[in-house]
Structure formats: structure tokens, C-alpha cells
Copies of this chain bind each other. A is one copy, B any other.
Amino acid sequence: MATISVVGAGLMGTALTFPAADNGHDIHLIGTHLDTAIIEELKAGRAHPRLRRTVLPHVTPHFHIEIPALVPGADLVVIGVNSRGVRWASGAVGPHLQPGQRVLMVTKGLENTGDGSLQLLPDLFRAGLPDAIRDSVRIAAIGGPSIAGELAARRHTGVVFTSRHGEILPELRRTFATSYYHVWTSTDMPGVEVCVALKNIYTLAVGLAAGMVEAETPPDPAGAQMYNTAAALFAQGLAETAYLVQHMGGGLETVFSLPGAGDLYVTAQGGRNTRLARLLGKGMPFSSAIEEMPGETIEGVDALLSVAPAVERAVEMGKLDGDAMPLLRKLYRIMTRHEPIAFEWDSFFGKLPFGK
């Protein structure tokens, strides 16, 4: 059995300990400096405050000061921080990683490099590692529809583990796969990371429709919802995802399966992105809507504020087609320039062989 050190005791880092512990591995769940209250609860044998479950017997909680002691000897290090914590994780964990050590990242997405390019977060993590091990550490990441609370409840969950080091994937899969955690493997890391980042953004679009219905006065007499509108935005989101995936060298099969369509579907079922979008759909300006959700990380907003300026820069530089991602660009203007929620429908699906 393996020894696994999970750094980050948020929802997903903690949820991943369930399949790993069910497989009999020994797990150190190490909170970050932001997770102190969580670790105190777990050390006292009480439930994780956000996951609302106690961890399994094979899982030992630790404060972040134990990172130097628990990372070097681990068979696998799981980075369980969110996208805002990648640089911190690189700096805090990196000096203790060993040559060739395996890292599995829950953190996924894209970062604006400032020069019209987007960097995959696993590559950003790698860039912050010490010279001595930077090239030899083998990094994998997880994509696909996985709500942490459902994984911890042992609901059937299907995900894709991806890595540029394809040789580590079968063993990683065996470490985590259970009767309820279904793991496929893919070497299409650009495809998976683009899908993961963009699904948070396009969930904001899908979620607008619910707010728009609520805001109507008087309500439609026959009770018509706006699922057609939500579905068209869902489809345009996937089409833009397909464009960027291909631009970054990924494959379409990643778009129409778990990482793309599956994850966009699950993300649009609820959560913070959807709540914010509903407020915007009701006509609230972004600056006010964000104040209604104090202290919450809204991944779609983080992703949009990172990706959209990079897309604009890439368009200016001629690296991306300006007509390829009109929905993403419009969402950015809704957020940052208070543009009204009125889509330029004729601009949609412009990169597909569809007439208009």
C-alpha cells in the first residue's frame, strides 16, 4: 500500500482521501495555512466543516508545518489547493519534493502569461519548483465532473487523470479507482486543462438564464422557462471550448466526453458560479452581485478574469481568431464594463460549418 500526502484540506483534497483510503492506502491530509480550523476539527474526530463528514480511519490530519516532514517520503503527493493557491503550493511543497516524485493536482486551469498565451496550471506549478527537481517531478491532473461532496458520499463519479508522463497514469489509476470512483486516463493534458478552466466560465453564461426568467414582470402566463436559452449558451460554450482546445493542441474527444461536456453539465447544476450568474441574470451589476457573496471564491470569475484578457491579447497579436470566442468575450464585458446581458447571437457558432 502507498503513502499519500495530500496538501490542502479543502473540499476536493479531502474528498479524494475517500477512494484512496477505501483502497487501503495511508493518507496524510495536510491543511494549508488557510485550513487550520478544518484540521482542528478533524484532529478532534469531528466532521470536516464544509464536507460535513468525518474522514476515514486511514486518514491522518496534519497542520501545514508538517509539509517538510511528510512530503519527501510520500509515494504520491496530491496538491489539493484551488487555482489561487498554485503559486503558494509550488513554493511551500516544491523544496521538499524529490527527483522523479509523482504529483497529482486537483488544481486545474489556465493562467494568463501576459504575452497572449495561456499557461496550464500544472505547468505554472512546475515553473515554481526548485531547479534541481523541476524537470524530473512527474505531474498529473484530474478533470471531469466531480462534486467533492458526492465523491465523499461514494456516488458513482467518472473522471479523467491526465499527464504528459503517460507512464505514471496506470498506477495512479489503480491507486484511486474503486467501485464508485471510475478513472480513465488520457495524455491530452492541454485538452483537459482547457475544459476544466472554461467550464467554470461558461457555467456563468448558462446560469444567467435562470435569473432572467425570475426578473421578468409579469411572469410568463404559461410558465415558460428559459432552458432553450441556457442550452444554446451551453452549446456555444462547448463550441468555444472545442476551438481553444484545438488551438492549444488538444483533442475533440476531450471536449465531448467527461472533461468538457460532462464537467460543464455538472457545474451548471448549482454551486457558487450558478448563484452569481443568477444574480447577474436578474439585472444586478457584477460589482453588487459579488458583494452578495462575501469571502467566497467564485471559480468562474477567477477563470474569466485570467483567461479573457489573455484571449484579447492573443486576438490583438493575431494568435487567436477574434470571432472564435464571442461568448467568453461578452461575459468579460458584462462583468467588467457593465454591458447589458444581450448576446450577439449572430456571432455564435462562427467557427463551425454552420450557415447563418
The reply on A132 being an interface residue by CB < 8 A is no
User: Nearest-CB distance from A273 to chain B (Å)?
Assistant: 14
- Chain B residues within an 8 Å CB radius of A258: 231-232, 235, 349
User: Nearest-CB distance from A206 to chain B (Å)?
Assistant: 8
Q: How many copies altogether?
A: 2
The distance in angstroms between the C-alpha atoms of A356 and B232, with both chains bound, is: 33
The reply on A286 being an interface residue by CB < 8 A is no
Q: Can you report 13 residue pairs joining A to B where beta carbons are below 8 Å apart? A: A147-B227, A147-B228, A150-B225, A150-B226, A151-B228, A153-B220, A157-B232, A160-B354, A186-B353, A186-B355, A232-B258, A235-B265, A252-B256
Interface residues of A in 133-186 (CB under 8 A from B): 144-147, 149-153, 155-158, 160, 169-170, 173, 182-186
The reply on A238 being an interface residue by CB < 8 A is yes
Given A147-B227, A222-B51, is A355 in contact with B173 using a C-beta cutoff of 8 Å? Answer: yes
Given A145-B232, A224-B150, A257-B239, is A265 in contact with B265 using a C-beta cutoff of 8 Å? Answer: yes
The 8 A CB mask of A199-224 against B (1 = contact, 0 = none) is 00000000000000000000011111
Interface residues of A in 264-290 (CB under 8 A from B): 265-266, 268-270
The reply on A251 being an interface residue by CB < 8 A is yes
Q: Which 10 pairs show the lowest CB-CB distances between chains A and B?
A: A235-B262, A145-B231, A158-B232, A153-B224, A185-B355, A231-B266, A184-B354, A52-B222, A157-B228, A156-B229
The answer on a CB contact under 8 Å between A265 and B355 is: no
The distance in angstroms between the C-alpha atoms of A98 and B230, with both chains bound, is: 39
Q: What DSSP secondary structure best describes chain A's contact surface?
A: mixed
- Chain B residues within an 8 Å CB radius of A270: 227
Given A158-B235, A234-B262, is A227 in contact with B185 using a C-beta cutoff of 8 Å? Answer: no
The distance in angstroms between the C-alpha atoms of A260 and B232, with both chains bound, is: 11
A261's partner among B146, B221, B223, B235 (CB-CB below 8 A) is: B235
A355's partner among B156, B158, B170, B269 (CB-CB below 8 A) is: B170
The distance in angstroms between the C-alpha atoms of A356 and B160, with both chains bound, is: 10
The answer on a CB contact under 8 Å between A227 and B355 is: no
Given A158-B228, A261-B235, is A354 in contact with B222 using a C-beta cutoff of 8 Å? Answer: no
Given A52-B221, A348-B182, is A257 in contact with B228 using a C-beta cutoff of 8 Å? Answer: no
The reply on A242 being an interface residue by CB < 8 A is yes
A156's partner among B226, B251, B253 (CB-CB below 8 A) is: B226
- Chain B residues within an 8 Å CB radius of A52: 221-223
The distance in angstroms between the C-alpha atoms of A348 and B149, with both chains bound, is: 23
List 16 extra interface pairs beyond A149-B223, A151-B228, CB under 8 A: A52-B223, A144-B235, A146-B228, A147-B224, A149-B222, A150-B228, A155-B229, A156-B229, A160-B354, A173-B355, A184-B356, A231-B269, A235-B256, A238-B256, A239-B253, A239-B256
The answer on a CB contact under 8 Å between B253 and A256 is: no
The distance in angstroms between the C-alpha atoms of A84 and B188, with both chains bound, is: 43
